[in-house]
Structure 1
């Protein structure tokens, strides 16, 4: 699903924003099954930014930790992030 009508006018909605823990874990867990295009669109990030983050996580040695994280633990991160967003509003 495209983020906007015209691809050439499209900008990632999270461009320039810091990566959250939730996004990093999502990237590691779903990059393989969903592929770069889907993960990029889901996160609202440019494909180049997604690749750069992936390489950074691998260099830091935490890619496999996030990739193999149990879904229950990932869900807790997501819920914690959602609660934080509610308090920020």
Structure 2
């Protein structure tokens, strides 16, 4: 992975890192079942910043995905899947 040194790291009004190609390689790609299980299983212990870096997606995208999974009742499903993690 090559760090793009000429592009500054920016943060939104909530202090979350905005999209940066050096850190968010999977931005815009669909979530795999393994990604969703990892996200739900470790969300409460690892938190948004670490999850975003681990999954290669911006913090805002991770936060939005968790909110949607909880709203649709899928968060606990993936948290307890025990297939990949």
User: Shared fold (TM-score greater than 0.5)?
Assistant: yes
| Alignment-derived partner of residue 7 in structure 1 | 9
CA RMSD of aligned residues (A): 2.2
Structure 2 residue ranges without an equivalent (≥5): 11-18
The number of residue pairs the alignment matches comes to: 71
Post-superposition, which runs of at least 4 consecutive aligned residues in structure 1 deviate over 2 A?
Answer: 3-11
2: CA distance, partners of 1:68 / 1:20? 16
- TM-score, with length taken from structure 2: 0.70
Structure-1-length-normalised TM-score: 0.67
**Structure 1, unpaired ranges of 5+:** 76-89
The Cα of 1:37 is off from its aligned counterpart by 0.6
Could you say which residue in structure 2 is the equivalent of 1:87?
A: none
